[in-house]
Amino acid sequence: MKMDVRAEGLVKTFGKTLALDGVDLAVPRGSVLGVLGPNGAGKTTLVRILATLSRPDSGTVRVAGCDAVRDPVAVRARIGLTGQYASVDEELTGQENLILIGRLLGLRPADSRARANDLLDRFGMQEASGRPVKTYSGGMRRRIDLALSLVGRPEVLFLDEPTTGLDPRSREDLWSIVRELRSDGMTVLLTTQYLEEADQLADRITVIDHGVVVAEGTPQELKRETGAQTLVVKASDPGRVGRLVQIVRDIHGSEPVVAPDGVTVTVPTDDPLMLSAIVRRLDADGIATDEVALRLPSLDDAFFALTGRPATERPANPPAIADSVEDVPA
C-alpha cells in the first residue's frame, strides 16, 4: 500500500518541553487520517514538521514521496495546509486572494483566474467572491482559507483543527468538502479535538497525548479497545420493567441500571452471547421491547480511557508549543 505520509521516531523539544516523543504514523494514499489529542498534546507541532515549517530534532519524514527534512521545497510543491486560523488578506476579495496565491505559485494570470473561479464554484462562494474577506462570516473565511490551500492541486492536504470556532452548520459544510476531497483521491491528515469530527471523516485515527502516540486504529477499533459494551433493553410496557430487570439480573449476575425514562435498562457486558440469551428469555416471558441492542463505547469514552481527560479539556498550564516560532528549513 502506497503511503503518502510516513513519519518514524519524530522527536521535538522546545527548551525543557518535550513536544513529540518518538511519534510514528502513516497515511495511505487517498485516505483520511484523524489525529486526536487534547490541547498541548503535540498535534500542531506534528503538522508543522510534516508541512516542513519546523525541523524535528530526530526522526524521519516522507511526504508525497519526498524527504521533508532533506528536500522541503519538493514537499511544499505537493502539499496544502490549512491552519487553525484563516490565513487570508482581509482587505482583498475572496477571488483576489485566490488569484494572488495562484500567481505566487507561478500560474499565469489567466490560469490563476480560471483556478480561482473553479474553486469559488466548488465551494459555493461565487456570490461573495467580489466582497472583501473582512465582510465574510467565520464559516466563509474557513472555506476560502481551505480553497487557498487547494490552488496548487496538492497531493496531500494538512488540516490543523479546521473547524475550531465554527457553528454546527459551517462545520457540516466543511465536512462535506473534506469528504469530496477524499472521494477525489486526495490524502488528508486532519487534527481535531472534536471526536464526532474524527468519527465522521477519518478512515483511521491516531491518538496523541503528551507527545506520544497512545493508540491507533479505525474509529470502531478504538471504541472496542475501551472495554465492555453496553446492553440496552427498552421495554414497550412500563409495567413489565420490574420483570425485565429481574431477567437481566439473573442472566448477567449483577444489578442493571434503569434509565430516567423508566423503561430503558442497561448493563455493561463483554459477553457476545449475552444479547441472544436476553432475547430468548424476553420472548419466553412475553415481554415486548422497543429496543434490544449492544452498544459500543463512544469515541468520547475511548478518548477518555486512553488519555484520562476529555478531548476539549485544556490543561491547567498548557505548554506554549503550538504557536512557537521555529526554524523553517530553506
Q: What is the DSSP string of 186-253?
A: -EEEEEES-HHHHHHH-SEEEEEETTEEEEEE-HHHHHHHT--EEEEEEESSGGGHHHHHHHHHHHHS
Between 252 and 309, residue with greater pLDDT: 252
Distance, CA of 126 to CA of 109 (rounded, Å)? 19
Distance, CA of 261 to CA of 57 (rounded, Å)? 55
Question: Is the pLDDT assigned to residue 73 strictly greater than 80?
Answer: yes
What residue type is 149 in one-letter code?
S
Pick the CATH number of 3-78+154-224+303-307 from 3.30.505.50, 3.40.630.10, 3.40.50.300, 1.10.3720.10: 3.40.50.300
Spans of all domains in the chain = 3-78+154-224+303-307, 228-296
DSSP-derived 3-state class of residue 304: helix
Task: Calculate the CA 150 to chain-centre distance.
Answer: 19
Angle between helices 138-149 and 168-183 in degrees, nearest 10: 20
Distance, CA of 36 to CA of 207 (rounded, Å)? 5
How many other β-carbons are positioned within 10 Å of the β-carbon of residue 169? 9
Question: Is the pLDDT assigned to residue 317 strictly greater than 90?
Answer: no
Mean per-residue pLDDT for 92-120?
A: 96
Domain 228-296 has CATH 3.40.630.30: no
| pLDDT of the residue at 269 | 85
Of 90-99, 298-307, 316-325, where does the model show the most confidence?
A: 90-99
| pLDDT of the residue at 313 | 47
| pLDDT of the residue at 83 | 83
| pLDDT of the residue at 187 | 97
Paired with 14 in beta bridges are: 17
Confidence of residue 320 (pLDDT cuts 50, 70, 90): very low
Question: Is the pLDDT assigned to residue 329 strictly greater than 60?
Answer: no
